[in-house]
């Protein structure tokens, strides 16, 4: 690795790094009581990255032999000169050294595979709550990723990230209509994440909710008072405010939050952070893929916009310290500004108190998807289902629907925030690729949002 | 190492380690990408990747493993890992075994020598042409973009003495352009083809420029109405992937979650729609004579004049249904070649072709009384099980009496895709390659448009 860095420097790279990453994964999929697949993966490779003026050359190879790696280093330095981007030099940061093992109690490699298989099978069996459940699915997934990073500032690091996830999904049908419900648990950590999990309760509750959804009604449409649950709140935090606060979007003035620092962008009830240090959260990392320690970045503080997330490059461009947000999917992918755990902070109300204040509105329950819009600041997310609120009480269950509107207009109408806070993990792509583990979330938030579909 | 060497060694190692049957899927790729950032070429990358996936059967139990490959030691470890996995699972009562050697039924080779020979310099030049064209107008820039050219060699081998090879190329572009000022607009353009000669960088740049300017003119839509809507190919391909791909998969039929379950031979869409999976179509990103289980692909009518004609099968689901695989067990991507060996087998059309109509989109619009011509939605997701959707319009043109009367954004297009497919008004003639589909624009006659206020 050091020789690869030396090779890039000898080829006139202004800054460079060599990143070896290996990933061990286990995926178990159980469908309708049968083991549909059990797959072990071992994926590794080396990425060489060289900077010339403001441009980058990347060369990666799945070979870890000296010859191909040094050739890739030469190539990275050469193709960096093909770029036309201008940029400031990356100022030297203090070198970091050391080996950091993941903080886990039960490393997945120490747990028998049979135990993991049983967990997934039990979760599947628990979904068989009646004849209306036509399809039951459960998954168990774990990953252990090791990164070795050497750069031209003499950093030499080696660290490990371990994650796990279990998921169940039930499909109910009454012969004319089908509905789906899911539940999941995930995080950074070892098998201890699932030791206290009541899979019987998780699976049967999931299936029962799917059956209930068969009688859910179509949601009303238009601009309504909406209490977003932690998942939908998290999508607003991540997809709109988060992506627009990634400093690469700011440097090129693509974000609607360019120049927003110090401005009032939301009601006083709104505080939002990106925090890569949250213990156990799915997006938690000890270092980003440039070797910068992860950190907590306050993005909005009681309605006032505070700042952006940075990689080494954007921090150099804006003359601020990096925040540990330079991340890459794997050794074959580039490093750029990405989120970690992005969420709204909790308030002090109970959900019941928030519902009491609504004459007519909706309460969302779980998300299907969301989409970024850093340019226009538009919010779009799909709720798995919801509940109608009438005269301060929850009445009918609603089928899935879409929420939309201008993010800042929504956040300026946010008048109540609950004391519950939850983060849910997933993967985030930027554009249509470069998927990294993150989490997003928040409390229940009460705002005005356009609702439709379903 | 050559893929053949890896495949032969893997099959032998799996057998030596105790497998009754084994199947190996190996991919070797070279992928070149250049990325745009703020109207400049920011990053250039070259990726070389070799990896394999092994499936084994021992005493009726199935195990899987995959690995990147740097040495034969990793191949052996992968074979042992698959065997270990198989030892832990119950006997698979469905899966009967791997493919047997069979002659190809379609003849297509979508490997482009120009892609094989392309240099990073040429890729950057093409990107500069796109940027130059898009930024001809004052106040328009290209904040993001990627242009990728990749060559892929994949190989399926198994203990039935089967060995089939696929060589393919892909050219993929995704870029945005935006206007400056206080209320910027952003347009998106994408391009998929196996062939470099199909890429007209300057034309794509001009289209980006026009889309950005249109988005900048868009005003928030107020009110609500039920109107005719024209969906463009790239948005529609995502909607069809979310609905018909899911519904046509035998996996979802067998698991009783396909909305098309029990509808074979019945009218499921408007008669104007004909869908064919045509792996022989040279324009297709994934077209090939064999799927990734080594089964010959074939041309299949799926929906003819609105009537459901068949489903798509891989080996597992063909065994489940006591039928034969249609050659649709895939491990492919239409935008990336690296890492395909990590993908499990899943059912997908090789190249889903929508039969085009005869009129242009412009002629179609001329006949519209009142409607919306969509240019971009945030994300064209459809709920695969219910078919429901609510799409945020990022840019759309309102039409009255055949003329564009304004451009709108910040509104929801709401409906159900399976019902919408029953209400297709017309299909245009602008067939476009988008992911693993080739499809034109379509006019739907009853979508709900919901704005604020």
Which residue segment(s) compose the domain that A388 sits in? 222-452
Residue B196 phi, psi (nearest 5): -70, -35
Q: Report d(CA A25, CA A43) in Å as an integer.
A: 8
Which residue in B306, B318, B224 sits closest to B267, CA to CA? B306
Report the percentage of chain B scoring pLDDT > 70: 100
Q: Are B173 and B199 in contact (CB under 8 A)?
A: yes
Q: What is the pLDDT of residues B93-144, one digit of tens each?
A: 999 999 999 999 999 999 999 999 999 999 999 999 999 999 998 899 999 9
Same domain, A50 and A151: yes
Helix, strand, coil percentages (3-state) for chain B, rounded to 5, are 25, 40, 35
A196, A215, A234 - which closes a domain: A215
Number of DSSP helices (H) and strands (E) in chain A, helices first: 10, 22
Q: Report d(CA A371, CA A379) in Å as an integer.
A: 7
Residues of B in contact with A75 (CB under 8 A): 46
This model of the complex carries an ipTM of 0.94
Domain ranges within chain B, ordered by starting residue: 3-216, 218-236+356-450, 239-352
Rounded to the nearest integer, the mean pLDDT of chain A is 96
Same domain, A325 and A308: yes
Q: Are A57 and A81 in contact (CB under 8 A)?
A: yes
For A42, the closest chain B residue by CA position comes to: B67
Same domain, A204 and A254: no
Please indicate whether, in this complex, the C-beta atoms of A382 and B390 are within 8 angstroms of each other. Answer: yes
DSSP B100: P
A220/chain B closest Cα distance in angstroms: 11
For B81, the closest chain A residue by CA position comes to: A40
CA atoms within 13 A on the CB side of B406: 9
DSSP A14: S
Same domain, A163 and A234: no
Predicted pLDDT at A203: 98
Same domain, A300 and A420: yes
Residues of B in contact with A254 (CB under 8 A): 38, 143-144, 178
Q: What is the dihedral sign for C-alpha B116, B111, B51, B190?
A: positive
Q: Which of A42, A61, A117 comes nearest B67 by C-beta?
A: A42
Total domains, chain A: 2
Helix (H) or strand (E) holding B126: helix B120-134
B213/chain A closest Cα distance in angstroms: 14
Tokens of B145: 């973009």
Give every CB contact of residue A293 below 8 A, 6+ residues apart in sequence. Answer: A96, A286, A287, A324
Helix (H) or strand (E) holding A235: helix A230-235
Predicted pLDDT at B83: 96
Same domain, A206 and A335: no
Same domain, A153 and A248: no
Please indicate whether, in this complex, the C-beta atoms of A39 and B180 are within 8 angstroms of each other. Answer: no
Give every CB contact of residue B312 below 8 A, 6+ residues apart in sequence. Answer: B248, B249, B250, B277, B300, B302, B326, B328, B347, B348, B349
Same domain, A367 and A417: yes
Predicted pLDDT at A431: 82
* Radius of gyration of chain B, Cα coordinates, nearest whole angstrom: 23
Q: What is the pLDDT of residues B151-171, one digit of tens each?
A: 999 999 999 999 999 999 999
For B172, the closest chain A residue by CA position comes to: A432
Task: Report chain B's terminal Cα–Cα distance, integer Å.
Answer: 64
Measure the CA angle with vertex A187, ends A35 and A418; round to 5°.
120
Q: Are B325 and B314 in contact (CB under 8 A)?
A: yes
Predicted pLDDT at A454: 67
For B190, the closest chain A residue by CA position comes to: A432
Q: Which residue has the higher pLDDT, B223 or B197?
A: B197
Residues of A in contact with B78 (CB under 8 A): 42
CA atoms within 13 A on the CB side of A8: 33
Tokens of B57: 């059967």
Residues of A in contact with B92 (CB under 8 A): 34-35
Q: Which of A41, A54, A72 comes nearest B65 by C-beta?
A: A41
Same domain, A63 and A181: yes
Which residue in A122, A202, A33 sits closest to B255, CA to CA? A33
Encode chain A (454 residues) as per-residue pLDDT tens digits. Answer: 999 999 999 999 999 999 999 999 999 999 999 999 999 999 999 999 999 999 999 999 999 999 999 999 999 999 999 999 999 999 999 999 999 999 999 999 999 999 999 999 999 999 999 999 999 999 999 999 999 999 999 999 999 999 999 999 999 999 999 999 999 999 999 999 999 999 999 999 999 999 999 999 999 988 999 999 999 999 999 999 999 999 999 999 999 999 999 999 999 999 999 999 999 999 999 999 999 999 999 999 999 999 999 999 999 999 999 999 999 999 999 999 999 999 999 999 999 999 999 999 999 999 999 988 899 898 989 999 999 999 999 999 999 999 998 999 999 999 999 999 999 999 999 988 999 999 999 999 999 999 987 6
Task: Report chain A's terminal Cα–Cα distance, integer Å.
Answer: 53
Helix (H) or strand (E) holding A123: helix A113-125
User: Is B190 a residue whose pLDDT tops 80?
Assistant: yes
Superfamily designation of domain B3-216: PmbA/TldD superfamily (3.30.2290.10)
Residues of A in contact with B64 (CB under 8 A): 37-40
Q: Are strands B307-308 and A416-417 parallel, antiparallel or unpaired?
A: unpaired
Q: Are strands A97-100 and A156-173 parallel, antiparallel or unpaired?
A: parallel
A186, A215, A244 - which closes a domain: A215
Residue with tokens 């004849």: A131
Same domain, A294 and A160: no
CATH number for A116: 3.30.2290.10
A195, A215, A235 - which closes a domain: A215
Q: Which of A55, A135, A223 comes nearest B256 by C-beta?
A: A135
Measure the CA angle with vertex B273, ends B412 and B241; round to 5°.
50
Q: Which of A38, A58, A369 comes nearest B63 by C-beta?
A: A38
Same domain, A180 and A227: no
């Amino acid at each position: 690795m050091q020789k690869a860095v030396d090779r890039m420097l000898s080829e006139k790279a202004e800054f460079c790094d060599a990143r070896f990453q290996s990933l061990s994964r286990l995926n178990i999929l159980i469908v309708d009581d049968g083991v549909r697949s059990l797959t072990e993966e071992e994926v590794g490779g080396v990425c060489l990255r060289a900077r010339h003026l403001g441009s980058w050359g990347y060369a990666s190879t799945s070979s870890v032999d000296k010859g191909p790696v040094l050739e890739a280093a030469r190539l990275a330095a050469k193709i960096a000169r093909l770029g036309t981007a201008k940029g400031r030099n990356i100022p030297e940061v203090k070198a970091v050294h050391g080996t950091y093992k993941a903080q886990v109690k039960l490393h997945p490699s120490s747990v028998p595979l049979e135990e993991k298989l049983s967990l997934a099978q039990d979760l599947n069996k628990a979904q068989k709550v009646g004849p209306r459940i036509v399809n039951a699915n459960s998954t168990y997934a774990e990953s252990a990723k090791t990164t070795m990073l050497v750069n031209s500032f003499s950093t030499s690091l080696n660290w490990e990230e371990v994650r796990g996830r279990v998921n169940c999904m039930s499909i109910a049908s009454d012969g004319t209509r089908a509905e789906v419900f899911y539940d999941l648990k995930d995080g950074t950590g070892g098998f201890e994440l699932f030791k206290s999990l009541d899979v019987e309760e998780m699976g049967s509750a999931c299936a029962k909710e799917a059956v209930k959804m068969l009688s859910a009604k179509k949601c009303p449409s238009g601009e309504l008072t909406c209490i977003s649950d932690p998942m939908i709140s998290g999508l607003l935090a991540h997809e709109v405010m988060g992506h627009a606060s990634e400093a690469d979007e700011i440097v090129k003035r693509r974000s609607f939050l360019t120049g927003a620092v110090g401005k009032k962008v939301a009601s006083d009830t709104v505080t939002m952070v990106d925090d890569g240090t949250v213990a156990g959260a799915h997006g938690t990392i000890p270092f980003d893929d440039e070797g910068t320690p992860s950190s907590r970045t306050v993005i909005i503080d009681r309605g006032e916009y505070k700042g952006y997330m940075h990689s080494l490059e954007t921090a150099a461009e804006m003359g601020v310290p990096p925040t540990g947000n330079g991340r890459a999917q794997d050794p074959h992918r580039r490093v750029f500004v990405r989120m970690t755990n992005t969420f709204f902070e909790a308030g002090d109300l109970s959900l019941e108190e928030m519902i009491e204040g609504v004459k007519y509105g909706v309460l969302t329950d779980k998300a299907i998807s969301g989409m970024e819009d850093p340019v226009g600041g538009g919010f779009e997310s799909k709720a798995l289902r919801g509940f109608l609120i009438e005269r301060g009480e929850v009445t009918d269950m609603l089928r899935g629907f879409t929420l939309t509107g201008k993010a800042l207009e929504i956040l300026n109408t946010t008048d109540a925030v609950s004391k519950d806070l939850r983060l849910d993990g997933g993967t985030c792509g930027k554009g249509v690729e470069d998927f990294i583990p993150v989490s997003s979330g928040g409390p229940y938030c009460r705002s005005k949002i356009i609702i439709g579909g379903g | 190492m050559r893929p053949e060497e890896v495949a032969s060694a893997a099959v032998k190692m799996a057998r030596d380690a105790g497998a009754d049957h084994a199947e190996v899927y190996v991919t070797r790729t070279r992928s070149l990408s250049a990325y745009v950032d703020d109207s400049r070429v920011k990053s250039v990358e070259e990726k070389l990747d070799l990896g394999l996936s092994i499936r084994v059967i021992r005493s009726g139990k199935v195990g899987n493993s995959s690995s990147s490959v740097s040495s034969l030691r990793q191949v052996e470890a992968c074979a042992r890992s698959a065997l270990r996995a198989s030892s832990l699972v119950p006997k698979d009562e469905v899966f009967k075994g791997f493919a047997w050697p069979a002659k190809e039924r379609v003849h297509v080779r979508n490997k482009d020598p120009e892609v094989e020979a392309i240099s990073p310099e040429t890729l950057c030049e093409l990107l500069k042409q796109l940027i130059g064209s898009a930024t001809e107008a004052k106040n328009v820039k290209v904040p993001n973009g990627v242009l990728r050219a990749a060559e892929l060699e994949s190989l399926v081998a198994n203990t039935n003495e089967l060995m089939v090879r696929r060589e393919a190329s892909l050219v993929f572009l995704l870029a945005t352009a935006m206007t400056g000022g206080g209320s910027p607009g952003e347009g998106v353009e994408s391009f998929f083809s196996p062939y470099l000669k199909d890429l007209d960088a300057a034309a794509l740049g001009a289209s980006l420029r026009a889309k950005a300017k249109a988005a900048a003119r868009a005003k928030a839509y107020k009110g609500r109405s039920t109107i005719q809507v024209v969906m463009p190919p790239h948005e529609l391909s995502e909607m069809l992937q979310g609905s018909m791909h899911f519904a046509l998969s035998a996996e979802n039929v067998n698991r009783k979650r396909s909305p098309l379950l029990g509808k074979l031979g019945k009218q499921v869409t408007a008669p104007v729609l004909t869908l064919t999976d045509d792996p022989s179509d040279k324009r297709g990103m994934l077209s090939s004579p064999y799927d990734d289980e080594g089964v010959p692909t074939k041309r299949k009518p799926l929906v003819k004049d609105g009537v459901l004609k068949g489903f798509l099968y891989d080996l597992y689901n063909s065994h489940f249904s006591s039928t034969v695989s249609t050659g649709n067990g895939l491990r492919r991507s239409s935008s990336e070649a690296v890492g395909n060996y990590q993908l499990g087998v899943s059912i997908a059309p090789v190249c889903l072709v929508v039969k085009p109509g005869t009129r242009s989109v412009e002629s179609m619009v001329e006949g519209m009384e009142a409607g919306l011509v969509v240019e971009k939605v945030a994300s064209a997701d459809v709920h695969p099980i219910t078919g429901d959707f609510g799409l945020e319009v990022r840019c759309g043109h309102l039409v009255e009496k055949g003329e564009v009367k304004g451009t709108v954004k910040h509104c929801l297009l709401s409906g159900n895709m399976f019902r919408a497919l029953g209400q297709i008004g017309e299909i245009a003639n602008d067939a476009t390659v988008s992911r693993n589909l080739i499809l034109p624009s379509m006019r739907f006659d009853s979508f709900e448009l919901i704005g604020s206020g």
